[in-house]
Amino acid sequence: MTAQEWPQAPFTQAAPPLGNQYRDDRLLRSWLRRALAPDVARSIEAELDELGAVAGGELYSLQIADRLNEPVLKQWDAWGNRVDEVEVSPLWREAERLAVKHGLVATAYERALGRFARLAQFAKVYLFHPSSDGYTCPLAMSDGAARTLLESGNRALIDRAVPHLLSRDLARFWTSGQWMTESIGGADVGHSETLAVSDGRQWRLYGRKWFTSAVSSQMALTLARPQGNPSGGQGLATFYLEVRDAGGQLNGIRVDRLQDKLGTRKVPTAELTLDGTQAQLVGQSTDGTRAIEPMLAVTRLWNSVCAVSCMRRGLALARAYAAQREAFGRPLLNLPLHADTLAGLEAETWGAFLMTFLLVELNGRADCGEIDEEQRALLRLLTPLTKLVTGRQAVSVVSEALESLGGAGYLEDTGLPQLLRDTQALPIRDGTTNVLSLDALLRSDLDEGLAALMGRASACLRAVSEPRLAAAARQAVAAMERAALWLGSGQDPQVLQAGARRLALTLARSLQLALLCEHAQWLIDRERDGRGMAAALRFSWLPVDLMHQVDPALDRQLLGD
């Protein structure tokens, strides 16, 4: 080739555009039309449209531009004073402004929306999260702290903190941390070493917290062992603390360092030393970890919504790219194998979405007391199941979406590597897959939960009339029945524990399939839309029933030296 033969303008690939993330999301919109009362749907439509435009527009552009900014810990001032100030990224400051403006925490507590308040809140969170660089992390914990304090009935703490957590005024708005994990134990938090000492008037905490996300928050709920209490989880208690006093001085806290994490790098996650930190009991000094449980239920719900929204973002980019990138003379979208790959991701995302928003709906009912016993049992079992299955689906879908952009997906400035790294935090924090599988398996109300789950899947089966959907819904119910049979067949406890993850994933995936069939039928009947059926059938061809027999003795042999 001679110099004259080089093209004048070499080819450059256009970036995949992100449009209005609300208008482009047909699943979200169809679900809201189905689940919300029409007046509530009308009242939030304009705000969702605005957030969808911001999330796919200005905030997304700012996120890409802000890529290299990370929080900075300044431990000392010029005069040798320990200050431990954390400077967050510019995008985080904008994300905070938007979160307060749109009431991403407050909406859940607006009683005018009744049982739809949680749906309205999480439709917004779902749009906002992937462009927020993880600002949803402190929001989740703030929501969890508000719920925990309200359920505690501790009037002084409710009056002090909740108005800040629910504020729509930036100057008054607070976020909360959740300081549980210590080096000695995250899953096994009962080993916590932090000590709480009372002089009769004031509690003070002494210990080290190993993973404290969003250390930029104004307050935290934390676990400590009141002096003299027994060891184990039963001996712990939940404490409320404010990070700084009115003069801006740290409350007996040293920020030892910000952690060097794989992802969520915009979230300042710190290792802290508590050295005489003034704190107040949320409940009783003998409550164990009970008082902080509402926090965990809420953060697991946020985790699930964030997982689905990461899946949606990965797919939005993958789809936009496939429509404009050409290979072998055709857009990628028209290549049968590429289309097959994306269709599988779309079906996973639909399944995860429907399960997550069922959990959101149940939380909305519980918050305003419009929930019956069966729904309550379903809510309790779905909380760990949804969190664990969506975390895994999100990592797998986002990784595949990244690959679907080829080498471009591996380039940092497309935003996809960060999306994948951030997504990888979701199966770990707020309880790992294994820990939540055991949580589901070992709960004392498992029988009620299982009965409610099977009741919900059977209702889906009854709701479908289209023969192929009915066959898929029967497949879902059969997988659930097989899982329940295994559970009830008097297995050795070791075998039960070893199978807990397979059980949890089978229950979760069969529910997703049943919900897909139900929504697909609704879309056909009400909107003459066949996309739901395509998603349901596609999902039914993916692995749903993961139960199979294993031999723990063989596994030990495999893992041995």
Shortest CB 161 distance to ligand FAD, Å: 17
Q: In the complex with ligand FAD, which residue's Cβ is closer, 70 or 403? A: 70
Give the nearest distance from C-beta 358 to ligand FAD in angstroms.
25
**Which residue is at the shortest CB distance from ligand FAD?**
186
What is the CB neighbour count within 10 angstroms for residue 412?
A: 11
Is the Cβ of residue 188 or residue 340 nearer to ligand FAD in the bound state? Answer: 188
**DSSP string spanning 186-251?**
STTGGG---EEEE-SS-EEEEEEEEEES-TT-SEEEEEEEETT--SSGGG-EEEEEESB-TTS-BS
Neighbours of 165 (CB within 10 A): 26
Q: How far is the CB of 481 from ligand FAD (least distance, A)?
A: 26
- In whole angstroms, the minimum distance from the beta carbon of 191 to ligand FAD comes to 9
Query: Least separation, in Å, of the C-beta of 421 and ligand FAD?
Result: 10
Q: Please identify, using beta-carbon distances, which residue of 375 and 423 lies nearer to ligand FAD.
A: 423
Nearer to ligand FAD, 428 or 446 (CB): 428
The secondary structure element, H or E, covering residue 453 is: helix 446-463
Torsion from C-alpha of 479, 481, 485, 487, nearest 10 degrees: 70
Q: Smallest distance from the beta carbon of 311 to ligand FAD, in angstroms?
A: 18
Q: Which is nearer to ligand FAD, 20 or 303 (CB)?
A: 303
Closer of 299 and 349 to ligand FAD (Cβ): 299
Cα gap 143→299, rounded to integer Å: 8
Comparison of 217 and 341: residue with beta carbon closer to ligand FAD: 217
231's tokens: 């060891």
The distance of Cα 55 from the centroid of its chain, to the nearest Å, equals: 18
CA angle 222, 129, 426 (to 5 degrees): 55
Q: What is the C-alpha to C-alpha distance for residues 407 and 411, in angstroms, rounded to an integer?
A: 7
CB of 344 to ligand FAD, least distance (A): 26
Only one residue has tokens 């093209």, namely 7
Inter-residue contact 304 to 359 (CB < 8 Å): yes
Binding site for ligand FAD (CB under 6 A): 178-181, 185-188, 211-213, 261, 264, 269, 425, 428-429, 431-432, 434-435, 438
Pairing of strands 253-258, 326-327: unpaired
Alpha-carbon gap, residue 535 to 520, rounded angstroms: 8
